[in-house]
Amino acid sequence: MAGGAVGPRLEGAVMLHLALAFMAVLVVATAVIVVPLLVERRMDAQRATDDHALGGTFARILLGVLAVLFVSTVPRGSLAGLLVLAPPLALFGPWLAARHVFIPLGLPRAAYAAARRSLFAWPADPRGGAALAAAWALCHARRPDPAAEAWIGDLLEGTGQRHGAGRGGDGGAGAAGTEPLRGAGVAAGAMLAAYRGDIEGARALLESVASLDERACPREARRIAAGWLAAEAAARGDWAAVVERAAHGGGRATSLLGAAAARLLGDVSAPGAVALWLRWLAAPRRRATLPLLRRALAAGAGAPRPAPDAPEPCAAKVAEGDLWSRAVLLHATLLLRPRGEVSGDDLRRLGGAWDAALEDERAQAELRERALSLGASGAHAALGPVARAVEEDLAAALRAARVPLAEWDDLGATIGRTRRRLRDELLSEVELACDALRRRVDEKRELPALSEWREWTALRAQYEAAAELVGAEFRRLVFPKFHADVCHAAVWLFNARKERAIANAMFRWLLAEAEALEDARLAGLQRGNVACGV
């Protein structure tokens, strides 16, 4: 009996000594690695970001070792070992607690406090990461929480993220501190927009996360953004977008969504059934994703998709040779279709039908007779308003359906006039938006940093959508003014507002566009701006 009692006591003593020795090594390693990195962060922001990434890898290795020791200590009943190992686990695992406990439970303040104390999860944006954790937790809350929503909104106001600075800056009701907006703060704003029901705004913000420099955007923020975008695209049934999102990472859940989407699209390179099962087993929320798994398994890898039946171009038959009635019926059919079902072939077919109708001698003769009876000057006076109305409808259909130029452009007269009309409209709209931006900057009317970023992303999206609709001609015509006004705003943000991360993203976009348009002068200017850093 005595010998049996000595064994557990001795074993507990050995475990305690091992734990203490490990703690000593941990303290020394922290002093040698972490403290110099924190000092270097003040001296060199870019280098500190890289060092923090190395420190994060080191911390994850230590956390793994600590977790193994923790799990092995508990079954053995070594209370001393448990007490020694618990503090370092709490020190190095706050983001794990926020990510896997507080966020799923919908506890914004607890998630904020835990993420704020994570030394390595958010090296490039610690306060933004904490705000992101809080906003993400709010999205998981079981019931609306106006107080938490207002608090998170206050975190994101001001020149950057405003954080309540109750002792330690963990969201108390004390004074507020500010810091520039960075990648995690942008993602936090997107999560708050999603909570408020602005899904399109959240999508635009999360898509913009990838445009920020890696030095100003933590890898975790990019991963969260990619995962949310993939899940949202899957919810809409946009499987091509899911595959594209999954190609940029996003975690185990995103990997499962990408594999399932590839099978649903009939991609020959899609994973097989066994690989899909393994991804499902590795991903979280297996019960929720089981229906998608079954659907993807039923689709099969590389299964050819059945081609949809082409709809009839007209809802009614017209007499052969009645070009006018055919054009009118095609026109009505296109206007009645849902926005997403209008294709380039529909537009080309309608443009050709109107070309034939407007040039038809019989139709012109009938219009000439009607014009004379009404006292008009001739057929052209009657055809002019009809042609303009057709062009307006076609331009509106193109904008609503967002059909790229390559899918609808041809040499027809009606399509050509529609393209010029649409180009002029889009040029005027983009130039007016640029004028408004420059006027606000000249008047020094500041917006919160997140609002500044949203204004830029909206202007960029407007430019890119217009370029896709009417082609490179639009880009060459509008880019000089677009560049001048956006660069003016970005320089103001960089120098006066100290919002260097978002200004750098604007410089980098202008550089890429200048290079695409082969404008060496503007490209050289933006290379110098980009080199100023974040």
Domain limits, the chain: 2-92, 104-299, 323-410, 420-530
> Which residues have a Cβ under 8 Å from the Cβ of 14 and sit 6 or more positions away?
none
- Give residue 201's pLDDT: 92
pLDDT tens by residue, 284-331: 888 888 888 888 888 865 555 554 554 545 445 666 667 777 878 888
Distance, in Å, from the CA atom of 532 to the CA atom of 522, rounded to the nearest integer, reads 16
Quote the pTM value.
0.73
Q: In the beta sheet, which residues pair with residue 160?
A: 180
**Helix, strand, coil in percent for the chain, rounding step 5:** 75, 0, 25
Among 60-74, 192-206, 324-338, 497-511, which is the least confidently predicted range? 60-74
- Give residue 360's pLDDT: 74
> Which residues have a Cβ under 8 Å from the Cβ of 113 and sit 6 or more positions away?
130, 170, 171
Average pLDDT over residues 141-155: 90
Q: Which helix (H) or strand (E) holds 242?
A: helix 239-246
pLDDT reading at 490 higher than 60: yes
157, amino acid identity: E
pLDDT reading at 494 higher than 80: yes
pLDDT tens by residue, 112-138: 998 888 767 787 788 899 999 999 999
- Give residue 491's pLDDT: 96
Confidence of residue 455 (pLDDT cuts 50, 70, 90): very high
- Name the range with the highest mean pLDDT among 231-245, 289-303, 389-403, 506-520: 506-520
- Name the range with the highest mean pLDDT among 24-28, 379-383, 411-415, 438-442: 438-442
Six token digits for residue 210: 């990838």
Average pLDDT over residues 177-182: 76
